[in-house]
Amino acid sequence: MQKKLKDCDTVALDEGQNAVVILDQTLLPGRTELIALKTAQEIWDAIYLLKVRGAPAIGVAAALGIYVLARDISAEDFEAFYEKFCEYKEYLNSARPTAVNLSWALNRMDRAALQAGKEERLAVPQVKERLRREALCIRQEDVEVCRRIGENGLSLVKPGDGILTHCNAGRLATVQYGTATAPIYLGQERGYHFKVYADETRPLLQGARLTAYELQEAGVDVTLLCDNMSASLMAQGLVQAVFVGCDRVAANGDAANKIGTLMVALAAKRYGVPFYVCAPTSTIDFHTPTGKEIPIEMRPEDEVTQMWYRERMAPQGVKVYNPAFDVTDHELIAGIVTEYGVARAPYEENLRKLMEGHGR
């Protein structure tokens, strides 16, 4: 079904179809199409193939997805139900290793199932209803979290500023608002007239296909640039802040984001531009001490050599290095913008304080 972007939710639940309905991001900007995911294979493929992408949206899709799968588990006994639930959980969790929101959302759904079935000894139909409520709660929380990130990020800039962003941490990566783009959208609503610069983000062009598209659709003054042009902009004084999203924040503040983010951070450090990571607290992983322990997903070679070309643009047999993410050292980060406020160095201490102050 063909839709306009403004009329689409990135991730939603269709209980009539018993399906997760997503906006297929692999078709943008040429086609805006919703697809229904009903099976474990379809949900796994959608996450792995980046039909749904962005850490928050992946988490929401996983939560809704495992609820959809749980509805079809026929077991009446909780132990048998839970055994099958865990099979689905482990399978979906294998789709992408770097974005911690995937495992975070699935573990949260797991806890909801165990509380209902083991601790409260509810019947399986009631366990399924508890899972439904938890999945919808995760989705609604994403909207509220992104708006609060936007408010906190907006406090770091002023009207008329030039803002650079890398990859897509926009509304297409979440349910609404985005993370890195949330300050931009709120500023747009309030007449800040930001000048936004979007890196194209090789090799999958999330900046060109998604960020530039969604910001232009929203009426934001956005300029697209190749990944190797951001330092030139900063040298001219055209960028006053960098906002990027994040797939995982290690305990020490190191942050994994789309490949190329590290280069932007290094350029920002050189030219005195504050570099901010916008991260819902669900992406903060205190079990991972530093960025060195974050697993980095490696992607297929053809994404680099031929995916976007009519003809192959590299010699047959050439070796290809294609990591999906890189890790930005905490020393390059001016602040981590969360829904609870902006954390500054030392990050492990201040991130813990921030979360403990809100009962997390």
Q: Which helix (H) or strand (E) covers residue 258, if one does?
A: strand 255-258
Amino acid at 336: I
Distance CA 184, CA 177 (A): 9
The torsion angles phi and psi of 172, rounded to 5 degrees, stand at: -70, -20
CA-based nearest residue to 129, from 10, 17, 15, 20: 15
- Return the amino acid letter for 105: A
Amino acid at 208: A
Query: What is the residue-wise DSSP string for 287-338?
Result: TS-SGGGS---B--THHHHTTT-SS--S-TT-----BSEEEE-GGG-SEEEE
3-class secondary structure per residue, 160-218:
CCEEEECCCCCHHHCCCCCCCCHHHHHHHHCCCCCEEEEECCCCCCHHHHHHHHHHHHC
- Burial (CB < 10 A; 0-12, 13-18, 19+), residue 266, is middle
Q: How far is it, in rounded angstroms, from Cα 328 to Cα 260?
A: 10
Q: 59-95 burial by CB neighbour count: b if 16+ within 10 A, else e?
A: bbbbbbbbbbbbeebeeeebeebbeebeebbeebbeb
Q: What is the Cα–Cα distance from 244 to 32, expressed in whole angstroms?
A: 24
Q: Look at residues 125, 114, 37, 41 and name the one whose alpha carbon lies nearest to residue 76.
A: 125
Q: Annotated catalytic, 247?
A: yes
Q: Which residue in 142, 199, 247, 326 is the catalytic one?
A: 247
**Residues involved in catalysis:** 247
